[in-house]
């Protein structure tokens, strides 16, 4: 086992002096949980699994279902690439100082077949971000300038709001 100290967001796993398989384990600052999760997706080829402690509310968003308040960009982008399992929750009273939120240990594993190819990640992420940037607006308003094919526009009702679309429907837009 080798422990690497440093800012994870500045690391490129392929540049580290470690052999595969790579398991990422972290108790991360809760305010940068989402950037770290997106970093995991960007580094997908270089790790096997990850165990991360995070705020339980964020863990719940990772597994949110369509048509719920928790369902959003994080749910969709992560769901296209990773399988997420909440291992267990941790109550605030086991920490000193005691936080005001529950925590959770979450295991991330790569999907055998990601729903999006690596070369389409940036576009996919931007489309999903644009859709959820104004979640109360209809898709036809938030995604009008994204060059989404006529075929897709005919198969998805663009008067819907983003939280009503499945991950697969978002994938079809790329």
For 70-87, write each residue's pLDDT tens digit. 999 999 999 999 999 999
- Mean predicted lDDT score pLDDT of the chain: 91
Are 120 and 170 a contacting pair, CB within 8 Å? Answer: no
- Write down all domains in the chain, each with its CATH number in brackets: 8-110 (3.40.50.150), 118-172 (1.10.8.100)
Inform me whether the pLDDT recorded for 38 exceeds 80.
yes
Q: What is the pLDDT of residue 14?
A: 78
| Half-sphere CA count of 120, side-chain side, radius 13 A | 15
For 110-133, write each residue's pLDDT tens digit. 999 999 998 999 999 999 999 999
Are 75 and 64 a contacting pair, CB within 8 Å? Answer: yes
Runs of H (alpha helix) within 5-143: 33-42, 56-62, 73-81, 121-133, 139-142
CA distance 8 to 35: 10
């Amino acid at each position: 086992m080798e422990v690497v100290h440093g800012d994870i967001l500045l690391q490129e796993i392929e540049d580290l002096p470690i052999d595969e398989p790579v398991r990422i384990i972290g108790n991360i600052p809760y305010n940068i949980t989402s950037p770290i999760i997106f970093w995991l997706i960007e580094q997908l080829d270089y790790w096997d699994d990850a165990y991360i402690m995070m705020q339980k509310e964020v863990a719940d968003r990772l597994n949110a279902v369509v048509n719920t308040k928790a369902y959003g960009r994080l749910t969709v982008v992560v769901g296209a690439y990773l399988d997420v399992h909440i291992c267990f929750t941790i109550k605030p009273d086991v920490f000193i100082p005691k936080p005001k939120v529950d925590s959770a240990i979450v295991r991330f594993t790569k999907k055998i077949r990601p729903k999006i190819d690596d070369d389409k990640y940036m576009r996919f992420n931007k489309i999903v971000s644009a859709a959820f940037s104004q979640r109360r607006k209809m898709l036809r308003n938030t995604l009008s300038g994204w060059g989404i094919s006529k075929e897709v526009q005919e198969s998805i009702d663009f008067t819907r709001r983003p939280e009503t679309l499945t991950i697969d429907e978002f994938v079809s837009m790329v």
